Amino acid sequence: MIEMKPAVKLPTTGERRMVTGDYAAAWGAMVSRPQVVAAYPITPQTMIIEHLAEFLAAGKFDAEMMRVESEHSAMSAVIAAEATGVRAYTATSSQGLALMHEPLFVSPPMHLPIVMSVVNRTVASPLGIWVEHNDTMPQRDTGWMQIYVEDGQEALDMVLQGYKVAEQPLVELPMMIGMDAFLVSHTIESVDLISQEDADAFLPPYKPVHAYLDPQRPMVVGAAAPPEYIQEVRWETDLRMRRAAEFLEETDREFGRKFGRTYGGMIETYRLEDADVALMTLGTVTSTAREVVDRLRAQGERVGLIKLRSFRPFPAERLQDATAHLKAFGVYDRAVSYGVGGPSYIEARNALYDTTTMPILSFLAGLGGRDVTPQDVELMFKKTLAAAGRGRRASGVHWIGTRGVSP
């Protein structure tokens, strides 16, 4: 007979139900009370907007819902709504996000704190509908904050936290919340559906501080500008991205005090304190990696894990502190910057350049939605362990689970 441990009681403040990640994100959006929602369907994001439409139809939710004709328009509509002075929400994925690339650049300099759920899905070609981070990673320099979550609960909680951080008058930057296609979006799990009351207590109504459109208090919002002004705007946007780091940490702590769940802020660590080597992961692979860490620990390997939650702002200082004692560091990515390696590997190497000479390895796996198995993750740890103490020369890019390519 199989022995089972008694179930752990999870903190619950609202109603706990078995729902998909898309449902959780839609719920998070609903209780954040956006005044305008504009979206366009794309697998695997569709359920988010379907659920919002159901909430609306049932009278649970009250907002202007714009069923627009493209993602370009969805993003433009929420930009315009935020510029007018209301909270706005949208969600997309993959090709949709790529189509939004142009309007993505608009809101960060203009102080428009939009929140958007992005179901991470591979971008063609070839066309696929499964998880890859090559939709969000290329949006790195648009000025959006970028968070990666691991499960449905985090997808929900981050919408609320997202608005709170994004709307800080010292931040006023938009945030995209990446959730892995199917592995989060379509996976049913137990989620604490935060009540409207609790959400309201955590997230006050939006009051635009700097930009709004009101004939009683006229303002120019959006302008063409000569070189005399643009560089200062860039600097100021950069400053706000740097400032956002502190608010991400603080908001997560505050959320924890209220709801009994925290996510560690920009990074979360697992069994890292006495580890010799560690792997950094983002998205759902993190869950699998925790399991692998436990297994390897049981075999006597001193390994640990860092979950990268915030890709922008990038948690350089926290990473420096967290990795100071390591002998080697592996970085897992679900996207490739062709010819160089994984995007977060590039960032990590940059962040750690001043503080370490240990080898830093790039691991690419699970592209196009291929499963990343515990064996794959174990191999990443093994390779990192083998590189321990060998200095920067042992760094390199490893394709895990690619037929015909030795890892």
Partner 1 sequence: MTTVKDLPREDYFLSGHTACPGCGGAMVVREVMKVLGPNTVVYMPASCLLIFSDMYPYNAFKVPSLQILFETSAIAAAGVKRALKRLGKDDTTVVAFAGDGGTADIGMQALSGAAERNEDILYVCYDNEAYMNTGIQRSGTTPFGAWTTTTPLGSTSEGQGKNEFKKDVPRILMAHDVPYVATASLGFPADFLKKVDKAKAKKGFRYLHVLAPCPVGWRAESDSTVDLAKLAVETGIFTLLEYEDGVLTLNREPRFTPVREYLKLQGRFKHLSEGQIASIERWVKDKWERDRALAKALGPKPKVPVAIVR
Partner 2 sequence: MAAQALAVAASHDGYSAIAFPFFGAERRGAPVLAFTRFGEERLRVRTQVYEPHFVVVLDESLVETVDVLAGLRPGGMVIVNTTRAPDRLVLSKKAKSATVDATTIALKHTKQAAVNTAMLGAFAKATGLITLEGVEAGIMEVFGRRLSKEIADRNVAAARAAYEATRLGEGDSGRVYAKATKWLPTAQELPPGLATPPMETPFGRVGVGSSPSNLTGGWRVNKPVLDGAECTNCLLCWFYCPDGSITRGEKIVEIHYEYCKGCGICAAVCAPKAIHMEREIEEEVKA
Q: Is 60 an interacting residue with respect to partner 2 (CB under 8 A)?
A: no
Nearest approach, Cβ of residue 83 and partner 2 (Å): 8
Among residues 254, 245, 256, 252, the alpha carbon closest in space to that of 319 is found at: 245
Rg, the chain, Cα only:
21
Q: Is the peptide bond before 343 cis (omega within 30 degrees of 0)?
A: no
Query: Residues 214-233 vs partner 2: string with x where CB under 8 A?
Result: ---xxxxxxxxxx-xx--xx
Contact of residue 38 among partner 1, partner 2, none (CB under 5-8 Å per partner type): partner 1
Contact of residue 210 among partner 1, partner 2, none (CB under 5-8 Å per partner type): partner 2
User: Which is nearer to partner 2, 124 or 225 (by Cβ)?
Assistant: 225
Q: Are 263 and 154 in contact (CB under 8 A)?
A: yes
Opening angle at CA 325, ends 322 and 326, nearest 5:
90
Return the residues of window 164-183 that contact partner 2 according to CB under 8 A. Answer: 172
Structure tokens at 75: 């993003």
Residue 249 to residues 151, 161, 163, 268, Cα–Cα distance (Å): 19, 10, 14, 11
Question: How many residues bind to partner 2 according to rule CB under 8 A?
Answer: 25
Return the residues of window 184-213 that contact partner 2 according to CB under 8 A. Answer: 209-212
User: Which is nearer to partner 2, 57 or 239 (by Cβ)?
Assistant: 239
Bridge partners, 145 (sequence order): 175
Nearest approach, Cβ of residue 30 and partner 1 (Å): 15
Bridge partners, 38 (sequence order): 66
Nearest approach, Cβ of residue 232 and partner 2 (Å): 4
Q: Is the peptide bond before 34 cis (omega within 30 degrees of 0)?
A: no
Nearest approach, Cβ of residue 335 and partner 2 (Å): 30
Contact of residue 236 among partner 1, partner 2, none (CB under 5-8 Å per partner type): partner 2
User: Which is nearer to partner 1, 75 or 348 (by Cβ)?
Assistant: 75
Contact of residue 79 among partner 2, partner 1, none (CB under 5-8 Å per partner type): partner 1
**Residue 289 exposed, middle or buried by CB count within 10 Å (0-12, 13-18, 19+):** buried
Query: Residues 103-142 vs partner 2: string with x where CB under 8 A?
Result: ------xxxx------------------------------
- How far apart (Å, rounded) are the C-alpha atoms in residues 341 and 330? 12
In single-letter form, the type of residue at position 283 comes to G
Q: Are 192 and 12 in contact (CB under 8 A)?
A: yes
Residues of the shown chain interacting with partner 1 in the complex, contacts defined by CB under 8 A = 35-36, 38, 63-64, 66-70, 72-73, 76-86, 88, 102-103, 106, 213-215, 218-226, 229
Q: Are 278 and 183 in contact (CB under 8 A)?
A: no
Binding region for partner 2 (CB under 8 A): 109-112, 172, 209-212, 217-226, 228-229, 232-233, 235-236
